[in-house]
Amino acid sequence: MTEHVTSGTDWRSWQESWDRQQEWYMPDREERFRVMLDMVEALVGPEPRVLDLACGTGSITDRLLRRFPKATSTGVDLDPALLAITRGTFDGDDRVTFVTADLLDPTWPGKLPHASYDAVLTATALHWMHSGPLTTLYGQIGELVADGGVFMNADHMTDPATPRINAAERAHRHLGMDRAKAAGVLDWAEWWELAAKDPVLAGPTAERFAIYGEHADGDTPSAEWHARTLRASGFGEARAVWASPSDALVLAVK
């Protein structure tokens, strides 16, 4: 059950504004969510127990429950501001539980309400981790996913063997971002500036920047690296099931 939230803050509007800000970076963001949930349904059915890993404002949980009303979700994150938004958005929904935990802390799985999950899902969140800690995390996820269950990670995944393609894709993507920015779209920094001025989110936002700093930049290994590392972490199969010119969705089956 979610924590009771008494504030009159319009949490749904904050969650939606986060979605719009993220879409500035990823215009195809909804497509990766659609494919992710398609594969959840295909492999574990329409009533899964889901772990929303590094859940942020609950974007995955929101889409999961809209599509699969009998699903349940555990969201885990460390960011106090984003967790405030997601707890407020889902206040009173008994299908959802939220846990504050640091994925770099080896004891974080012990804070979860369940020992195993049908699906562990994450999107645009693990790129702040370097490959060593991410490999460790994948080993922990391999222990959390039930037999026959799935793990999916949708994130920025680049191939260092294609530098000309990578440079052209980045330049083209940023042209589109520049046009959207000129039309008034909020970027990441501007969104956080608004949160810092909100009377309810100002405190959690300050805590958030004390934890993370301005931005944490990790590694962005290729989809093949993710698939190979997941297979070494106890998954029987793993490969990309969706890709854009810059991002990929890697699916692993226990």
Confidence of residue 221 (pLDDT cuts 50, 70, 90): very high
Instruction: State the average pLDDT over residues 146-158.
Output: 96
Structure-block tokens of residue 184: 């008034």
Count up the domains in the chain and report the number. Answer: 1
Q: Is the pLDDT of residue 239 over 90?
A: yes
Domain assignment of residue 3, yes or no:
no
**Rounded (5°) CA angle 136-112-39:** 70
Look at residue 216 in the predicted model and tell me its pLDDT: 67
Domain assignment of residue 96, yes or no:
yes
**Rounded (5°) CA angle 72-5-82:** 70
Structure-block tokens of residue 218: 């990790």
Give, in order, the Cα–Cα distances in Å from 45 to each of 62, 67, 254: 17, 12, 15
**Residue 106 carries which side chain, given as an amino acid letter?**
P
Q: Which residues contact 169 (CB under 8 A, 6 or more apart)?
A: 245, 246
What does the alpha-carbon distance between residue 147 and residue 117 come to, in Å, rounded to a whole number? 9
Q: Is the pLDDT of residue 206 over 70?
A: yes
User: What integer best gives the mean pLDDT of the chain?
Assistant: 94
If we measure between CA atoms, which residue out of 195, 187, 1 comes closest to residue 80?
195
Domain assignment of residue 6, yes or no:
no
Domain assignment of residue 89, yes or no:
yes
Share of the chain above pLDDT 70, in %: 97
Domain assignment of residue 74, yes or no:
yes
Give, in order, the Cα–Cα distances in Å from 243 to each of 148, 155, 160, 163, 179: 24, 10, 16, 17, 23
Confidence of residue 1 (pLDDT cuts 50, 70, 90): very low
Domain assignment of residue 204, yes or no:
yes
With residues binned 3-state (H G I as helix, E B as strand, rest as coil), the percentages for the chain, rounded to 5, are: 50, 20, 35
- Tokens 């199969």 correspond to 237
Contact 53/120 with Cβ under 8 angstroms? yes
Domain assignment of residue 112, yes or no:
yes
Within 10 Å of residue 135's Cβ, how many Cβ atoms?
16
Q: What is the pTM of this model?
A: 0.94
Give, in order, the Cα–Cα distances in Å from 153 to each of 34, 59, 81, 150, 166: 13, 14, 23, 10, 20
What does the alpha-carbon distance between residue 245 and residue 93 come to, in Å, rounded to a whole number? 37
Domain assignment of residue 94, yes or no:
yes
Contact 230/130 with Cβ under 8 angstroms? no
Residue-number span of the structural domain to which 100 is assigned = 11-253
Q: What's the CATH code of the domain at 95? A: 3.40.50.150
Q: Is the pLDDT of residue 101 over 50?
A: yes
Beta strand 247-253 pairing with 237-243 = antiparallel
Read off the pLDDT of residues 164-193 as tens digits, 9 standing for 90 and up. Answer: 999 999 999 999 999 999 998 899 999 999
